[in-house]
Structure 1
């Protein structure tokens, strides 16, 4: 009985901490802008920095998928791979911190109808390649979002793993390189 107040205090403290952590996972997903920035932020970081995989998971709808167009051997026809967010984590939980992967959004085109939004998000990735050299890649993440009336969830993401060999068309790049633009068509 003597320790009961301490146990109650610890329970309240831990419950409050858990709630605040859950809030941090959802605090930035009430807008398209917020969830897209959260996606890029959570996968980016310097060499040696662990990523916040709980936040990453919280961005996705149940049964969400990630699709990757993987180039064939010798530059041949690509194949489509489908993975879950958890499979992405398994593949990248040590790789991203090892290469110091950082990805920033350069430009976005968003189309929304009802609860769905389709986002064409042009990105630039910075990382250290297997030869220890800094590398920069530009590409496009094709992101589908679902809005439940309160927050957005990522339903799917599609990207081409051969992005460094594909030039991003001008229409998907900022018009003024010093300014980030967004086009929202609703």
Structure 2
């Protein structure tokens, strides 16, 4: 049996593991996600900052801690499936600090067409023998703002 501690260790052992866990924990059919798993990825005081409105109650540009983010998205995830996956990443590292520009696609079904694409700017910290999410700031692609080629998978 996998315990929460085992899962947290596996989710935070590497940069790849923690970013994979970020996308995995938010994805799924309608209903609750494993929000304890999500919380375990974030350094206390970490922030999630959508550049555009997240919901009708969130104006965008406003930092949220993990619990406020969960409270904001939980009602939507209760009634709508949501699957998000990384399609490309550019990573810079200096010591214990990593900055990842992680391009994503969001779908309503696991194999459906993307309904949203965007880029997550993810800051990570290696501390206490594991990786922590410190900040996620993201923006969505639009006609006026296409994702630059450098953030897309090679053609």
Instruction: Give the superposed CA RMSD.
Output: 2.2
- Is residue 2:39 matched to residue 1:57? yes
Match of 2:3 in 1: 20
Matches within 5 A, 1:35-184: 35-46=18-29, 48-70=30-52, 80-127=61-108, 136-148=115-127, 150-160=129-139, 162-165=140-143, 166-176=145-155
Moved more, 91-100 or 51-60: 91-100
Tell me: CA distance 1:175–1:35, structure 2 relative to 1, closer, same or farther (3 Å).
Answer: same
TM-score, scaled relative to structure 1: 0.71
More helix by share: 1
Count of residue pairs brought into register by the alignment: 146
How far 1:138 moved relative to its partner? 0.8
Higher gyration radius (CA): 1
* Equivalent position SS for 2:51: strand
| Cα distance in structure 1, aligned partners of 2:72 and 2:138 | 16
* Equivalent position SS for 2:69: helix
5+ unaligned residues in a row in structure 2: which ranges? 54-58
Tell me: CA distance 1:41–1:156, structure 2 relative to 1, closer, same or farther (3 Å).
Answer: same
TM-score, scaled relative to structure 2: 0.85
